[in-house]
Amino acid sequence: MPTRTAAPALAQITLASTRVEAVTDFYNAVFGAGLEPDVEAYADDVTFYRGTLAGVPLLVVPNEVAGVAAEQSRHQLHLAVADLDGTLAAVQEMGGMVESELTTEEEGAPRTVAVRDPDGNTLVLVAR
């Protein structure tokens, strides 16, 4: 049996993007990510953006710099938000798309809705 280690902690989320500026604007406006250019990470006139998402450091980089071939992420984040309806409106206002119907609150289950950011990455918004 393999040796168990301590549970990991999420150290950073990196979003490789084909539309860096639109994605940066989206996460700043919708989730208050505070993404700003990282002057230490400039390489060949490429700008990286650093901020925070859900208390975790967030880095947005161009797809080609990250060496990502996929046009959309293969990970899906579920973000708990205080104002689901307001967040959903902000998603649409900032170029995001609604991917699923907004679920109604069932006994013991929160309301949820799947959305896409401007780069097409899916997120699930969960009412707190």
Question: Mind listing the pLDDT tens digit for each residue in 87-109?
Answer: 999 999 999 999 988 887 677 78
Say yes or no to pLDDT of 71 above 80: no
Contact 118/22 with Cβ under 8 angstroms?
Answer: yes
**Between the ranges 6-10, 105-109, 116-120, where is the mean pLDDT highest?**
116-120
pLDDT score of 35: 98
pLDDT band (50, 70, 90) for residue 72: low
Question: Mind listing the pLDDT tens digit for each residue in 40-69?
Answer: 666 667 889 999 999 999 999 888 877 777
Angle at 85 between CA 76 and CA 12, to 5 degrees: 30
